[in-house]
Structure 1
């Protein structure tokens, strides 16, 4: 009986490390394709891609996606508790190994889809824009970033998100 208890103690050591590993695959896609993906300053490749990233408890991972002509997207990968770690029960050695290896947490997402936003401005000539009944100018298309040029008064107004 003591052998069974001792064996189970060591078999259940670091359950999350054994069952879920210390790395995680995250699929990263963007529209358009071809954006460069970096994590903590290290380039991993271009979208679409399968990003294999190590888990860590004590620091956050910052994901940066860049593409010429588009705004750079940057965010911290959210983490959550890896419930497989509960199999350690009262095994402090197992908990310690899972914490040190990072297996006690996992990233909240397995798939990231980014619609890249253009950083180029739509340009409109003030005197070519239509007005509504209240006298407000009407833009020909919806845009969050644009410029309005008034050539007669040599002025340019820039609106960005």
Structure 2
């Protein structure tokens, strides 16, 4: 039954398949269906311009899909590659190892410290205001600190 629709739809079958694959990429992102969808659209355009047989269309789609996926792998960022902004969306982790001066005392193991234009919640030993503390860890928006001697 589907073989009967091929001659009826012609290049439009490839345009529809390409659109479905692109919509599926939006629903289940992974940047793989994107390249197959683009290959289907190019196959439809080729079929529209040249007037290929359905066998040639299938072969063209297969070749274009392989080429598109290879190009996509080359231009897509590799997972795990070092970022030029490693603390983006993890700002608190960028403070680990830095030293700050307490504006307010740490009481009951909890306090606050102003860093630039932001007040951060800190946890550490009870200390008086004016003491220097070193950030030893970050847990979400809470910084774990220890006293700096000297």
The question of a shared fold, defined as TM-score above 0.5 by the shorter chain, is answered with: no
The higher-RCO structure (CA 8 Å, 6+ apart) is: 1
Taking structure 1 as the reference length, what is the TM-score of the superposition? 0.29
**Structure having the larger proportion of residues in helix:** 2
Q: Between Structure 1 and Structure 2, whose CA radius of gyration is higher? A: 2
Taking structure 2 as the reference length, what is the TM-score of the superposition? 0.30
